[in-house]
Amino acid sequence: MRAILMLLVVLACALPGAAAAAAPNTPASPAGPKPWCAPEVTELSSHVCFFDGPTPADGRRTLVIYLHGMLADTPGFAWLQHRAMAIHGKRLGFTVLMPTSPKEDNAFVWPTSESAIKDKEPAIVAGIAQARADLVARVGHDFDETFVVGFSSGAYYGSAAALRSAIPCDGTIVLAGGSAWARPDLSKEHRAPIFVGVSAADRQTREHSRAFGGALNALHWPHRTEEQNAGHMVDWTLIAHGIGWLRAQQKP
C-alpha cells in the first residue's frame, strides 16, 4: 500500500502544467495542524471540498463529482489531488465536488468488492447527495449537467456505480481503473454514457480499463474508450477529452 500511495504523490505532481499553474496563486500553508482541504479549494463540510470553476462561454454549468484515488490518513496528503482537480476545473470550466471515501485501516479507499459496496454504498450515496445540495446552496445555483470522475480506487468503484446508476449523474469518466466484473442493472431505461480512459503506461490498471471497455461493448452501453501513454495519474488529455465527449452526448 505504501508504494502505491507514494506513486500517487509522484504522478499527481507530474500533471502537465500543474506546478506552473498552481505556484503563482498558492497560499502559504497555515500554521498548526493542516486542514483536510488544500488551500486552493474550499471546505464544504468535514472531509468534503469543492472548487468553483468558471462557467464556459456557452453558459452551461457543469458539476464534476470527483472520486479520488487512495489517500493516506496523513495531513496534507490529499492536497495533491485537490490541487490537480482545481487546475482541471479552472482550465475546462467546471465546478468540482470532492467527497472523501470511507476509511479503511490507515487509508481512505472506495469499496470495490460486491460485499463492501453493499455495506458501504448507502452511506456514500447519501453523503454525496447531501454534499451536492450543500454545494448548490453555497454557490447559489444548480447545474446543467453532472458528471462523475473516478480515478484509481475511485475508478473501480465509479465504474461499478455507473453500471447500476447508483450515483445520479449525466455521465461517468473512469481513469486508471475499471471493474469489468460489475453487474449492470439492466432494468434501468437510461444508460448514462461512460468514458474509459486507459493509462497505457500503467501496468497495474491498463488491462482492467481495457476489459471494462470491452464489457461496455458487449452490453451495447454508450461509451468511448481512449488510450494515452500515461502512467497512474489523472492524465490531462484523457480528462479533457472525457469532459468534452460527455458534454457532446448531452441533449440540448
- Angle CA 73–171–139, to nearest 5: 65
DSSP 8-class letter at 59:
-
pLDDT of 18 above 60: no
Domain presence at residue 19: no
**Is residue 155 domain-resident?**
yes
Q: Does any domain span residue 22?
A: no
Q: Which tens digit of pLDDT belongs to each residue from 85-137?
A: 999 999 999 999 999 999 999 999 999 999 999 999 999 999 999 999 999 99
In-domain check, residue 156: yes
Three-state secondary-structure class, residue 229 = coil
SS3 content of the chain, % helix, strand, coil (to 5): 40, 20, 40
| In-domain check, residue 111 | yes
Count of structural domains, the chain: 1
pLDDT at residue 32, rounded to an integer? 63
User: Does residue 104 belong to any structural domain of this protein?
Assistant: yes
Task: Tell me what the pLDDT averaged over the chain comes to.
Answer: 89
pTM: 0.88
Q: Are 72 and 97 in contact (CB under 8 A)?
A: no
